[in-house]
Amino acid sequence: MTVLVRPKALGDHKVRTFQMLIDGKWVDSADGRTIERVSPGHGVVVSRYQAAASVDAERAIAAARRAFDDGPWPRMTASERSLILLKAADLIAARADELAFLDAIESGKPISQAKGELGGAADIWRYAAALARDLHGESYNTLGDGTLGVVLREAIGVVSIITPWNFPFLIVSQKLPFALAAGCTTVVKPSELTSASTLVLGEILEAAGVPAGVVNIITGTGPEVGAPMTTHPDVDMISFTGSTGVGRLTMANAAQTLKKVSLELGGKNPQIVFPDANIDEFIDAAVFGAYFNAGECCNAGSRLIVHRDIAEEVTARIAALSAKVKVGDPLDPETQVGAIITPQHLEKIAGYVSAASKDGAAVAHGGEALDLGMGQFMAPTILSSVRPDMAVAREEVFGPVLSVLTFETTDEAIRIANSIDYGLSAGVWSRDFDTCLTIGRRVRAGTVWMNTFMDGASELPFGGYRQSGLGRELGRHAVEDYTETKTLNMHIGARTGWWMPR
């Protein structure tokens, strides 16, 4: 049985209405249309945003272009930009409860988790502020007496930032502060399902001293707003996080003008478990990795690749712990798994489970949608007897569904892990260092955790192989991703040229 935390009515909660931030002004959409967001955990309207059209996106892009070409931001010293980013981090921390509440009611994530994400986001802004002062070029005085070479790092220009609904504030914080640290100007489009916390971030950045036009925030759908953001000739770079399918479209749009593209896309991440692992610690990590953020996470550990000798024990113990996971009201501090983002997405998740069952997989726990009186919820689900060729083992379900596969040899485990189109992250569990290192070297993924899962830090790069994306976020080189490299080749003294005497 699943432990249920039934949602309580929001009571006197007032629908919060937001405008967009364009060129330092809070404005409505050009045609006055709006979007209403229904809370996935409570089934009532909680937010209202502007529904931007292409003309609004063009206004925002023009503002960012002017701010980059003629404004003060790219011309400030690194220390000046750093101080503003540090102030923004402090203001994020000061408004963390408000921001976490907005993310919880709009995305359905548990409030305790949302508060943790806000702490991580503030840390990222502080880290980006430090990197702003560390951005530098190179010099070469070894090219002969008559030559001096200097390599500059310059801000790339106007950056379109498009973020998803599953981590509304955290993911914009993995992009925007690094673009700002480099001296870029930006147009930001959060998901139309979870725009509120990003719009509050606009207020925070204004208060921190970011000049008008440097950060423009527009709200609307991908076809109407995302399209011009990815095709407009005045945009120099696109940073996108979302599905692999939309990532392909973004890349195709960017190719029209050969923009630089950074993509953080889907994942189908394996945890490979050997018989000598610390099984107690692994069981906890497996449940966390599968159900964190209701499995609506590109890093979710949705594939367990378990040695055949321990597969039955592992499945039974994960099922037993899954039965203790608390599912329900996102605003209850005890909740561990919140609501599913939309009714349509819940139907998609249930469809994967149904198809896998018909194809021979066994439901070891859960497997059904939950009726809690309001909102939409899915029981934590474990599928055993899963084959590598099943859709549930190859495609990103993006829900609280864990597939258990088995192996007998290390080579077989690696082959199963690498047999899909994704390569975002992976985990390996063994007390043997050689085993862990072998898996770490041979599994094609951007991050490989060893005897842990889904740990992270601002200092560590994040991104994937293959169809999990292009480029890396976070880490000490994150600011460099938003720059161009320029070579200054300087000649000293008289030049001996082609037509000059030697």
Active site residue 264: yes
Q: Nearest-CA neighbor of 234 among 157, 295, 320, 168?
A: 157
Three-state secondary-structure class, residue 213:
coil
- Tokens representing residue 118 in the block: 């806000």
Q: Output the DSSP codes for 270-317.
A: EEEE-TTS-HHHHHHHHHHHHHGGGG-STT---EEEEEGGGHHHHHHH
Map tokens 């690696």 to a residue: 414
Q: Edge-to-edge strand order for the sheet containing 185-189?
A: 25-27, 20-22, 215-217, 185-189, 158-162, 237-241, 260-264, 469-470
Nearest Cα residue to 170 out of 116, 244, 246: 116
Q: Which residues of 75-92 are buried (b: 16+ CB within 10 A; e: fewer)?
A: ebebeebbbbbbbbbebb
Q: What are phi and psi of 39, to 5 degrees?
A: -65, 125
Q: What is the largest distance, in Å, between two alpha-carbon atoms of the chain?
A: 91
Is residue 393 within 8 Å of 366, Cβ to Cβ? no
Which of 264, 296, 396, 473 does the annotation list as catalytic?
A: 264
Catalytic residue annotation: 264
